């Protein structure tokens, strides 16, 4: 039975940019997202010529990475830890093709290494037709943000 994304990460609409997990293979973790025309950010980015903001494309990759880390922790008999997934480092971001309202993308993350509570990953995004959209490198950790209230 597939696991719901909302069972893995704390993100919720309107700031949830992963619709479903497509595959959880050892070599690559893949998720899917359809960018809906009624999403509010399209009204201002850009009026009459909407395009998905690059920062939200990056966020979709980060959320996919967090799903990967949560499932990996679950498989090891635990949970990701207290707190939330936090981005510690972003690098080598390259945008290759825009994403428009209605486009469905596949988001892939691959673990490069884990060290000291941080997981270094590479991420990429392609449209469902195979067109490359973007790629990046990042480091993610599950932490309680300093100064954040604890439940």
Is 45 marked active-site? yes
Handedness of CA 26, 141, 139, 19 (dihedral sign): positive
Rounded to the nearest 5°, which phi and psi values hold at 112?
Answer: -100, -45
CA distance 141 to 145: 11
Out of 20, 22, 45, 131, pick the active-site residue.
Answer: 45
Q: Which residues are catalytic?
A: 45
């Amino acid at each position: 039975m597939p696991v719901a994304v909302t069972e893995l990460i704390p993100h919720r609409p309107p700031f949830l940019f992963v619709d479903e997990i497509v595959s959880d293979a050892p070599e690559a973790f893949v998720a899917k997202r359809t960018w809906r025309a009624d999403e509010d950010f399209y009204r201002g980015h850009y009026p009459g010529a909407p395009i998905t903001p690059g920062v939200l494309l990056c966020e979709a990759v980060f959320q996919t990475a967090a799903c990967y880390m949560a499932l990996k922790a679950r498989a090891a008999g635990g949970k990701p830890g207290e707190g939330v997934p936090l981005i510690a480092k972003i690098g080598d971001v390259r945008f290759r093709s825009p994403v428009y309202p209605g486009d469905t993308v596949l988001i892939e993350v691959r673990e490069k290494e884990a060290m000291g509570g941080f997981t270094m990953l590479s991420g990429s995004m392609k449209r469902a037709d195979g067109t490359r959209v973007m790629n990046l490198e990042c480091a993610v950790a599950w932490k309680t943000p300093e100064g954040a209230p604890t439940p």
